[in-house]
Structure 1
């Protein structure tokens, strides 16, 4: 019996790994779609978004405030406060595209401000 070249052994391992990923992907897709379908009404509930956005706005304000108290740099606040204002505006916007746009823009600004805070501290 002749010995196989080393690259063929590597190809077999790669093929087995890829087959395993395929099985995981198929099972995970079925489970995920089934779960999201049955929980879709929960995630689409505007109250879930409002509570989450309110908590994120309050936590963001506290974190930005404590950051400026520690490092005395105002740039994160100048970026974060408009983001918090957009997030707060999203709380009062009708549920839909406008609310989503306000939320995404606001969260993006606040996330950038938090990254500045983290680097400065």
Structure 2
């Protein structure tokens, strides 16, 4: 089991970074498509996308960074990722618009940074 946990954590950190990048693309792409072209507002701005994304990010970060913290005993990846999840949660409360996009972009960047720190400390 000791050999499996680092492998799983490393894969989850990579998945978390990919999900963060996809979220970032979604935010920027939505702003461009909706504001610039007036396309896709009903689907791209659906609150369910953001709720599911935050739930998935919380689970992946919690497992990957939690396992990493237990292994390498460093707080930085955990603190950075939790700050990111806090920003993402704040974006849900902000409602649609520029505030939500800015909070989400900051949040996913921090979560990805937490995963990167976790991989570096492995």
Question: Which TM-score tier does this pair reach, normalised by the shorter chain?
Answer: 0.5 to 0.7
Taking CA–CA contacts closer than 8 Å with sequence separation of 6 or more, which of the two structures ends up with the larger relative contact order?
A: 2
Is it true that 1:82 corresponds to 2:77 in the alignment?
no
Alignment partner, residue 21 of structure 2: none
Structure 1 unmatched ranges of 5 or more: 1-36
Structure 2 unmatched ranges of 5 or more: 1-36
Whether the 8 Å CA contact 1:54–1:91 is kept in 2: the answer is: no
Which is greater in Rg?
A: 1
Cα deviation for residue 101 of structure 1 reads 0.8
Cα deviation for residue 111 of structure 1 reads 0.6
Whether the 8 Å CA contact 1:64–1:113 is kept in 2: the answer is: yes
Aligned residues: 85
Alpha-carbon distance in structure 1 between the residues aligned to 2:116 and 2:61: 12
Whether the 8 Å CA contact 2:45–2:96 is kept in 1: the answer is: no
